[in-house]
Amino acid sequence: MAAFCASPFPSPTILTLLRATPRPDHRFSYRRSFSPNFRALTDPVLAPSPSPVPLPLPLPIRRREAALSLSLSLLLFLLDPPAGASSDQTNCTLAVASSGLAFCDTVVGTGPVATKGQLIKAHYVGKLENGKVFDSSYSRGRPLSFRVGVGEVIKGWDQGILGVDGIPPMLLGGKRTLKLPPELGYGARGAGCRGGQLSFTVFRLSPHLRQYFTVDLM
């Protein structure tokens, strides 16, 4: 019977196999997880939060805002009218006629003379002596149309456009400042005239007030 030599190594058993199997070094993997190279794999990616979408205002609120904006625009116009609507009454010397009507031409027209009964158009601004605007065709966006000299406007307008007592008649394209005494303006009534396409009845004036008008004959 042959003799067998004893092996210097232990026979493989389940214990020796388990002992021989290399185990992972958890400390090494833990350290690597905190390495900057692995940040993109370990840190959560936060998506940018969407910006809030403004909700539309209720319809009644938008209407009120639109009405308030329109009222504010009209108020600003009355307090500070545009350059074309300024009266220029402080930039010229008024000449006074015997009737008390005063005038000053800021622009002398180059067109024909206005005649009695003629249908004309004019832009205008009406102010009081304290500079307050009480009426303006510029705010309505269209000139005033009327027949001059037939009583469709106040007397101061008829006389100031057609000419009287040394006041020359206006020429088409001219711009004239008129200072009206109460009797040639709205007198003791303190209101506008009737007739034609006048819009003077939209305001109320105290009686016996002098008025300034800048008339731009078109």
Reported as a single tens digit per residue, the pLDDT across 31-60 is: 444 444 444 444 455 555 666 666 655 555
Where are the alpha helices (H) located in the chain, listed in sequence order? 14-20, 26-33, 39-42, 59-79, 155-162
Identify the pLDDT of residue 193.
43
Identify the pLDDT of residue 91.
67
Domains of the chain: 83-217 (3.10.50.40)
Contact of 171 with 112, CB cutoff 8 Å: yes
Identify the pLDDT of residue 208.
64
Name the token pair of 149: 């000299």
CA distance 174 to 180: 18
Furthest-apart CA pair in the chain: how many Å? 165
Identify the pLDDT of residue 5.
47
Low-confidence ranges of the chain (pLDDT < 70): 1-91, 187-208
Contact of 176 with 89, CB cutoff 8 Å: no
